[in-house]
Structure 1
Amino acid sequence: MTSTPALPIAAFVDRVLLDQSSIGEQVVRAGYRQGDHDVVSIDVPIQLLEKELAAHLEMVVRVTPTGQIASHLVDSSGSLLPAPKLTTSIEQLVSETVSAENIRLEEATANELRSLLSSLEAAIDQVQAALAAIPG
């Protein structure tokens, strides 16, 4: 007599499609599954899950030597999450910041823009010092 090996039990999280009347309440189902059979599961409002997860994540932002600004998420153990990093250039961020529409929406003052300019000038000085320290 031969026995068939038991299927492993694995954790899962699936987005649940609800009827049209509950469109504002997105839900995920989390639990344990053996093959196609849910051993145990619970439906959780996705907003609750997102808030709890976000409380334990850290956004790390860095500037690359080429002037790109890269950001990625780090989990509670300090590991990078496999989600794609967002990357943009310093020029793009500054351009968006000082656009007429953004100045209006942020109600930016001349003093705030002078402070931004001063910060950017200090950053330029630091890059120039780094360049001067590189031989050749």
Structure 2
Amino acid sequence: MVTLRIDPFPSADELYALWLEAWGSHERKDFSAILSRSLTHIGAYENSQLVGFVNVAWDGGIHAFILDTCVHPRMRRQGIATRLVKEATRVAQHRGAQWLHADFEPHLSSFYRACGFRPTEAGLIRLK
């Protein structure tokens, strides 16, 4: 059974292992600095193993941003990502956010629409 934990602050090794499986990324990030400034983050755990994750960054006011939604490949198609995003939405609202934004690639449109997001116009500049 998969359980969700609010603000679990997973270790760098736990997040790296999930990142490697979910994104194929070998890049190690310093998540401690990121998570300490987040409005919330939600971890999905099967027993004690981190199998899913979502982060909610914010502007310190009314805008929050869904980032880094991921689920371990062997755990996909079980509704875990939907549960993560919906719990992140609930917690963000409870903590005072009035708007929740999500940027995503076109193949994820139906997923985010099913989570309650609607399309909007936005701008983007690639800085690197």
TM-score under structure 1 length normalisation? 0.23
Larger relative contact order (Cα-Cα within 8 Å, sequence gap ≥ 6): 2
Rg comparison, structure with higher value: 1
User: Structure 2-normalised TM-score?
Assistant: 0.25
